[in-house]
Amino acid sequence: MKLELIAFTKQGNALAARLSQLLQEQGHDAQCTRENLRVEDWAKRAFQRAEGLIFVGAAGIAVRAIAPYIQHKSKDPAVLVLNEKGQFVIPILSGHLGGANDLSRQVATLIHAIPVITTATDVNHIFSVDQWARRQRLKVVNPEKIVIISSKLLAGQPVTWWSRWEIEGTCPTNLVWAQREQAEIVIDWYHPTQLALWLSPQKIQAGMGCRKGTKKDVLKKVLQQVITDHGLVLDCVERICSIDLKAEEQGLLELCQEMEVPFETYSSQTLSKVEGKFTASPFVQTVTGIDNVCERAAMMNGDNLLVHKYAENGVTVALAAKAPVLSWRDWQ
C-alpha cells in the first residue's frame, strides 16, 4: 500500500520514522510526508494520493483533519491513529474495504502494540464480506448492499451465495450455497440478474486497436459501451493491451492514464503465438502482420475470452480475463 504518516511531537516523529521503515521492509511504500504543512492541508493532499494515512497522535486531531474529505467507504483511504508511545493502533476509517483493520493488525505486530478494532463483524468473529472481498481482490460493485449482508449475519440469519469459481477451504458459518438467481452474494464477472451483492474479479484485460489519432474520449466511449453491453465492470479492467505499433498512440496513453491502468504492447511475433480461435481480418493481417490484434492482445494476460472483437468508429475492443483463485481460509 502507498502510506503517508504524520506526527506532531518529538516522540511521535521518532515512532513514525521507525514505523515507516518497518512498513517499507514489509513491502509498503510508506513515507513521513508532513513537510511543514498544516495538518488539514496534509490530510487533503494525502487523501488524493495515498491508500492509507497514519496519524501518530491524538485521535481528535485525525478526525478533524480528515472530516472534510470523507466521501464513501468504497473510495476513502484507510486511516489509522497511533498514540505516540505506540501502545495502541486504532483504525478510524475504511476498516474493511480500505484495509484499515488489516493494516492495524500488521502495524500492531510490527511495534508490539494492541489493535483497537471496533467493527461489529470483527468483534463478534462474524464473516465480513467486504473485508474478505478486498483480500481476494474482488471489486465490491454495489457496496450499499454490504450492510444488508452484515446485518443478517450479525443477527444469526443465513445468507445465500453463488460463485462462478470454486472457493477453497471451509465456508463460513451461515453462508449457504444457492442458485445464481436466488443468491444474495454473487461472485462473477457478469452483472447478477437480481439485486444481490456483486463481487467481481479485478482481472479483466482490454485488448484495443484504433485508427491513428483517435481521441481518448472516443476510445473510452467504445470501451464503456462494450463493458456495459456485456454486463461487466469498467473498474475491473486492470490493463489495456495492444500491438507495439500503437505504443505511442496518444489517445490510448491518455485513456490508460485516466483509468490509472498500465498500457502494455507486444510485437506481432509475440501476438501470433497466442493460442485460440480469433476473428481474422485480411486487412489487419496486411497492416500488422497478424490476423487480429485486440483479441490476441487481450488474451496475452487472460485465459477466458469474454468478449470477441467489437468494432466501432475505427476502434476495436476485445475483453479477456484470468479466473481468480479464491479461498475462504483467510476470512477472519
* pLDDT tens track for 15-56: 999 999 999 999 999 999 999 899 999 999 999 999 999 999
Distance CA 327, CA 52 (A): 25
Kindly tell me if the per-residue pLDDT of 276 is higher than 80. Answer: no
Is the predicted pLDDT of residue 88 greater than 90, yes or no? yes
- Residue 290 is predicted with a pLDDT of 79
Q: Which amino acid is at 250?
A: Q
- On the question of pLDDT at 187 being above 70, the answer is yes
Contact 6, 34 (CB under 8 A): yes
Q: How far apart are the first and last CA of the chain?
A: 20
Give the DSSP H/E element, type plus range, for residue 229.
helix 216-229
For residue 327, the model assigns a pLDDT of 96
pLDDT digits (tens, 9 = 90+) for 154-183: 999 999 999 999 999 999 989 999 999 999
Which one, of 156, 196, 202, lies nearest residue 179 by Cα? 196
Confidence of residue 272 (pLDDT cuts 50, 70, 90): confident
Rounded to the nearest integer, the mean pLDDT of the chain is 93
- pLDDT given for residue 285 in this prediction: 64
Rg of the chain on CA atoms, in Å: 23
Distance CA 273, CA 287 (A): 18
Closest CA to 143 of 47, 70, 75: 75
Q: What is the mean pLDDT of residues 230-236?
A: 94
Longest dimension (CA), the chain: 70
pLDDT, position 291:
72
Distance CA 136, CA 144 (A): 19
Q: In this model, does residue 64 exceed pLDDT 90? A: yes
* Domains annotated on the chain, with CATH: 2-118 (3.40.50.11220), 129-201 (3.40.1390.40), 204-321 (3.30.420.180)
> What's the pLDDT at 9?
95
* DSSP one-letter string for 179-221: -GGG-SEEESSSPPSSS-EEEEES-EEEEEEE-TT--HHHHHH
**pLDDT for res 170:** 92
| CA dist 56 → 4, 85, 176, 223 (Å) | 11, 9, 42, 43
Please tell me whether residue 236 adopts helix, strand or coil conformation: helix
Q: Provide the grid cell at 154.
A: 450479525
Give mean pLDDT, residues 260-283: 86
Q: What is the pLDDT of residue 332?
A: 65
Cα-flanking dihedrals φ and ψ of residue 66, to 5°? -90, -15
Q: What is the pLDDT of residue 122?
A: 87
**pLDDT digits 0-9 by tens, 108-134:** 999 999 999 999 888 888 999 999 999
CA distance 295 to 293: 6
Whether 331 has a pLDDT exceeding 80, the answer reads no
CA distances from 289 to 19, 93, 243, 309 (A): 53, 52, 11, 17
Distances (CA, A) of 264 to 261, 285, 301: 10, 20, 10
| Cα separation, 300 vs 320, whole angstroms | 9
